[in-house]
């Protein structure tokens, strides 16, 4: 019987020895191997499992050392008699939903509203096309580096260093790494007494909102903005003032004057990902000074600003110590890590530390030391470099795919690049409907609705993100999403008028196109010009400084305009019907759906 309970899982990450040991322990604790019962001999068990006898012997030795089993002279291996002495029998109390409720709801003194929002399915990684911003596919996780850091953190000298201490002092090694490696990237000079480690960024925001907001406080927040922040402020009892956001970030005007606290995400606005420009930053600090306001700066996701040179954080420009700065280790790590930090005036840090001790205590010193080593070993810088490389490629793939498949509706891009962009759903389709339909086909996209605090504020946009989707999947994901959009909007599509198609035939085509220039704009509104040379060569120039060029061939065949780029449109051949009215040229799929249109400049 005992033997049957000991089996090995070839796919287990555990060594054979560990597996044997684990099965025996489970058997003992589960009661399958009662105290005093005899276990199979190492020889017998080794045979049965088909492992080296020594593997079993070592597992048994470990179990003996740990007091689970004992070897009796000339008799065999036995489960120790008093092994379960300190366990008491479980009761038969009804559990779970079945259990009596004792009217808890009546007894609650505090009710928490669930954070509004979009809920990503727990099994998102099993979906073929998860375009979910802020989720990271495992390939991005620096497993080996983190493992090295945690192995070192567990080095005895470090454990002796204080992992056993209670107290409120953070790991000086981590403070120093943040001070000297992370904050300089953000233009922030800080001393140790201006930094507090928190159990993640959410915890940092909780502490600050509790400390700085109550029923007597008016707090300015971005609209659209972070729903979790609004939830925290409402729980603190604060009144919210909504400040709109445009391409320059949060709008700075005299409406701000009434607020005592201003919450802002300048480097990578949530959710639009626009970066607040320098003028706005200076204006914001000026308003804050004039009205003696406090600013909570969430430096969210700044590590994804990899285009152009980054702005310094507000905290870095803050001469008056009005800014409380919140950040954390790269988001890619955060779900597994939960290390955030606040940088602010010592007086505020002092209060935040006391509150932190009550709320959650000091974040694990082992985790703090692990993070410190991760930084000091340069893994942080290396991880960012790698992240930017990978995400940059995915970003290009997304732009290329949209250029190839997307038509008509507006798209807004982050100002400093990033990992996601927003697409307007077609007029006649609600974004929530689109999100549902897409999910049924394994395409996960996020609607904009939950980012609006005043309700009903949705602009009917959805987000396409690339943090959770590998490069090679992006094209097909966009293709299938656009196909879905076309199905949902089928009847709104422009089609050739069957009564008067007005298609050019082969001869007209050659005559109209040979030596002509075609002008249009990419979906991201870069100008693009294509030269069709009489000899069949084709040259394309795109971007304000022609930064993106390509060459290809064009020809006419059976009344169809055919073209093939070497890079653009994935280097694939395209065959279209063509109409020209005045100087507007239109391409149609054989069958009649409009593909695109442009301005045709005839050759003189």
Q: Interaction with its own copies in 216-245: which residues (CB under 8 A)?
A: 216-217, 228, 231-232, 235-236
To the nearest whole angstrom, how small is the minimum distance from the Cβ of residue 221 to its own copies? 16
To the nearest whole angstrom, how small is the minimum distance from the Cβ of residue 312 to its own copies? 5
Between CA 257 and CA 211 the distance in angstroms is 21
Choices 20-28, 46-54, 443-451, 504-512; region in contact with its own copies by CB under 8 A: 20-28
> Which residues contact residue 542 at a Cβ distance below 8 angstroms, ignoring those fewer than 6 apart?
522, 526, 527, 528, 529, 548, 549
Give the DSSP letter of residue 538: E
Of 123 and 604, the one with the shorter C-beta distance to its own copies is 123
Q: Which residue has the tokens 């928190």?
A: 198
* Total Cβ atoms within 10 A of residue 442: 13
List, edge to edge, every strand of the sheet that includes 461-465.
Answer: 411-412, 420-424, 461-465, 446-447
Residue 393 interacts with its own copies (CB under 8 A)?
no
Which of 73, 166, 491, 500 touches its own copies (CB under 8 A)? Answer: 166
Of 148 and 550, the one with the shorter C-beta distance to its own copies is 148
Please give the C-alpha separations between residue 584 and each of 100, 286, 287, 537, in angstroms, as whole numbers: 74, 51, 50, 22
Question: What six digits make up the tokens of 586?
Answer: 């239109």
Binding to its own copies in span 364-383, by CB under 8 A: 364-367, 376-378, 381-382
Choices 115-123, 429-437, 519-527, 567-575; region in contact with its own copies by CB under 8 A: 115-123
Between CA 47 and CA 49 the distance in angstroms is 6
Between CA 345 and CA 351 the distance in angstroms is 10
Which of 311, 406, 463, 563 touches its own copies (CB under 8 A)? Answer: 311
To the nearest whole angstrom, how small is the minimum distance from the Cβ of residue 318 to its own copies? 7
Q: Which element (helix H / strand E) includes 440?
A: helix 431-440
To the nearest whole angstrom, how small is the minimum distance from the Cβ of residue 377 to its own copies? 6
* Sheet strands (E) in 393-478: 411-412, 420-424, 443-444, 446-447, 461-465
> Which residues contact residue 54 at a Cβ distance below 8 angstroms, ignoring those fewer than 6 apart?
none
Of 346 and 590, the one with the shorter C-beta distance to its own copies is 346
Choices 2-10, 117-125, 561-569, 589-597; region in contact with its own copies by CB under 8 A: 117-125
Residue 157 interacts with its own copies (CB under 8 A)?
yes
Residue 5 interacts with its own copies (CB under 8 A)?
no
At residue 79, what are phi and psi to the nearest 5 degrees? -70, 130
Which of 386, 519, 541, 575 touches its own copies (CB under 8 A)? Answer: 386
Please give the C-alpha separations between residue 450 and each of 244, 246, 433, 459, 465, in angstroms, as whole numbers: 15, 18, 15, 11, 17
Residue 10 interacts with its own copies (CB under 8 A)?
no
At residue 501, what are phi and psi to the nearest 5 degrees? -60, -40
Of 125 and 492, the one with the shorter C-beta distance to its own copies is 125
Which of 3, 47, 54, 191 touches its own copies (CB under 8 A)? Answer: 191
Residue 264 contacts residue 299 (beta carbons within 8 Å): no
Of 74 and 85, the one with the shorter C-beta distance to its own copies is 85
Binding to its own copies in span 65-104, by CB under 8 A: 66-68, 85-93, 95-97, 99-104
**Burial readout 175-212 (b: 16 or more C-beta within 10 A, e: otherwise):** bebbbeebbeebebebeeebbbbbbbbbbbbbbbbbbb
Which of 72, 73, 165, 254 touches its own copies (CB under 8 A)? Answer: 165
Residue 389 interacts with its own copies (CB under 8 A)?
yes
To the nearest whole angstrom, how small is the minimum distance from the Cβ of residue 210 to its own copies? 5
Residue 211 interacts with its own copies (CB under 8 A)?
yes
Residue 200 interacts with its own copies (CB under 8 A)?
yes
Choices 188-196, 447-455, 522-530, 586-594; region in contact with its own copies by CB under 8 A: 188-196
Binding to its own copies in span 499-558, by CB under 8 A: none
Give the DSSP letter of residue 116: P
Residue 483 interacts with its own copies (CB under 8 A)?
no
Q: What's the per-residue H, E or C state across 151-173?
A: HHHCCHHHHHHHHCCCCCCCCHH
Of 294 and 431, the one with the shorter C-beta distance to its own copies is 294
Give the DSSP letter of residue 186: G
Binding to its own copies in span 242-281, by CB under 8 A: 260
**Closest to 367 (Cα-Cα) out of 385, 341, 349:** 341
Of 93 and 544, the one with the shorter C-beta distance to its own copies is 93
At residue 215, what are phi and psi to the nearest 5 degrees? -60, -20
Residue 213 interacts with its own copies (CB under 8 A)?
yes
Between CA 580 and CA 509 the distance in angstroms is 10
To the nearest whole angstrom, how small is the minimum distance from the Cβ of residue 53 to its own copies? 22
At residue 529, what are phi and psi to the nearest 5 degrees? -125, 135
Residue 108 interacts with its own copies (CB under 8 A)?
yes
Residue 64 interacts with its own copies (CB under 8 A)?
no
Of 130 and 552, the one with the shorter C-beta distance to its own copies is 130
- DSSP-based three-state secondary structure for 241: strand
Of 395 and 561, the one with the shorter C-beta distance to its own copies is 395
Total residues contacting its own copies (rule CB under 8 A)?
153
Which of 34, 128, 361, 536 touches its own copies (CB under 8 A)? Answer: 361
To the nearest whole angstrom, how small is the minimum distance from the Cβ of residue 134 to its own copies? 7
Residue 450 interacts with its own copies (CB under 8 A)?
no
């Amino acid at each position: 019987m005992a033997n049957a309970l000991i089996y090995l899982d070839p796919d287990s990450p555990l060594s054979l020895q560990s597996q044997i040991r684990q099965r025996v322990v489970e058997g003992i604790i589960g009661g399958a191997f009662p105290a005093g019962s005899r276990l199979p001999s190492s020889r017998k068990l080794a045979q049965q499992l088909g492992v080296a006898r020594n593997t079993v012997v070592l597992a048994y030795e470990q179990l003996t050392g740990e007091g689970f089993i004992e070897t009796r002279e000339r008799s065999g291996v036995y489960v120790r008699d008093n092994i379960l002495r300190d366990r008491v029998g479980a009761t038969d109390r009804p559990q779970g939903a079945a259990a009596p409720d004792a009217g808890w709801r009546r007894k609650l003194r505090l009710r928490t509203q669930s954070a509004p929002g979009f809920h990503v399915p727990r099994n998102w990684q099993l979906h073929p096309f998860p375009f979910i911003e802020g989720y990271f596919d495992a390939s991005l996780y620096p497993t080996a580096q983190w493992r090295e850091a945690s192995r070192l953190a567990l080095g005895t000298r470090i454990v002796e260093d204080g992992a056993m201490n209670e107290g409120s002092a953070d790991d000086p090694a981590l403070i120093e790494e943040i001070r000297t490696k992370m904050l300089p990237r953000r233009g922030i000079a800080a001393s140790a007494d201006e930094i507090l480690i928190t159990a993640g960024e959410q915890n940092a925001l909780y502490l600050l909102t509790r400390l700085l907001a109550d029923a007597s406080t008016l707090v300015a927040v971005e609209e659209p903005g972070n729903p979790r922040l609004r939830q925290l402020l409402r729980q603190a009892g604060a009144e919210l003032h909504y400040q709109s956001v445009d391409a320059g970030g949060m709008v700075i005007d005299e409406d701000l004057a009434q607020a005592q606290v201003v919450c802002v995400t300048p480097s990578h606005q949530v959710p639009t990902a626009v970066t607040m420009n320098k003028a706005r930053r200076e204006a914001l600090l000026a308003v804050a000074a004039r009205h003696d306001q406090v600013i909570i700066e969430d430096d969210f996701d700044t590590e994804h600003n990899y285009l152009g040179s980054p702005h310094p954080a507000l905290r870095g420009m803050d001469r008056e110590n009005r800014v409380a700065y919140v950040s954390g280790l790269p988001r890619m790590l955060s779900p597994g890590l939960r290390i955030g930090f606040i940088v602010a005036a010592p007086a505020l840090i002092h209060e935040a530390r006391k509150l932190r001790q009550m709320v959650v205590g000091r974040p694990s010193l082992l985790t703090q030391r692990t993070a410190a080593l991760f930084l000091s070993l340069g893994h942080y810088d290396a991880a960012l470099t790698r992240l930017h490389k990978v995400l940059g490629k995915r970003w290009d793939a997304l732009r290329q795919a949209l250029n190839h498949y997307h038509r008509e509706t507006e798209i807004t891009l982050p100002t400093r690049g990033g990992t996601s962009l927003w697409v307007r759903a077609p007029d006649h389709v609600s974004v929530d409907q689109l999100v549902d339909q897409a999910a049924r086909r394994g395409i996960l996209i996020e609607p904009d609705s939950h980012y609006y605090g005043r309700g009903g504020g949705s602009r009917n946009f959805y987000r396409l993100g690339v943090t959770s989707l590998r490069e090679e999947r992006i094209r097909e994901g966009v293709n299938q999403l656009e196909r879905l959009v076309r199905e949902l909007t089928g009847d709104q599509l422009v089609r050739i008028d069957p009564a008067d198609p007005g298609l050019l035939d082969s001869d007209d085509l050659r005559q109209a196109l040979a030596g002509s220039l075609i002008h249009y704009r990419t979906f991201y509104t870069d100008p693009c010009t294509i030269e069709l040379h009489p000899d069949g060569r084709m040259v394309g120039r795109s971007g304000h400084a022609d930064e993106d060029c390509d060459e290809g061939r064009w020809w006419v065949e059976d009344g169809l305009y055919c073209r093939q780029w070497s890079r653009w449109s994935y280097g694939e051949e395209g065959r279209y019907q063509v109409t020209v009215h005045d100087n507007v040229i239109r391409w149609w799929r054989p069958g009649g759906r409009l593909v695109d249109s442009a301005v045709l400049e005839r050759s003189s």
